[in-house]
Amino acid sequence: MQIKRKKTKVMQVGKLKIGGNNPIIVQSMTKSKLEDLDGIRSEIKELMGSGCELIRIAVPEKRSISYLKQLIDGRIFSVPVVADIQF
């Protein structure tokens, strides 16, 4: 069975190119609250080990931004992290 891909624009996130004729990437979203930085870091490492190429993190409210900054400043991972802003 062949699935016809929709024509999409190419976007770049870090070193990844998404859309167009680029390969489909594996992405996932963390479950831990952003305030739990150790839990988030652990999830990111696990997702990377599973082949995840892009990771989304929920940012449910403005006060969560400071935790996101801490996570990015202490960056220990090699995949792009995208903020899923929900406020």
> Which domains are present in the chain?
11-85 (3.30.110)
Which residue, chain included where needed, has tokens 């931004």?
Answer: 65
Q: How confident is the model at residue 86 (pLDDT cuts 50, 70, 90)?
A: confident
Q: For 33-67, how does the pLDDT look when each residue is reduced to its tens digit (9 = 90+)?
A: 999 999 999 999 999 999 999 999 999 999 999 99
Instruction: Evaluate whether 28 touches 52 at the Cβ level (below 8 Å).
Output: yes
Q: Hey, how many other C-beta atoms are within 10 angstroms of the C-beta on 40?
A: 22
**51 torsion bin: left (phi>0), alpha (psi -120 to 50), beta (else):** left
Residue 24: count other Cβ atoms within 10 Å of its Cβ. 9
- Write down the pTM of the prediction: 0.81
Rg (CA), the chain: 15
User: What's the pLDDT band for 78 if we cut at 50, 70, 90?
Assistant: confident
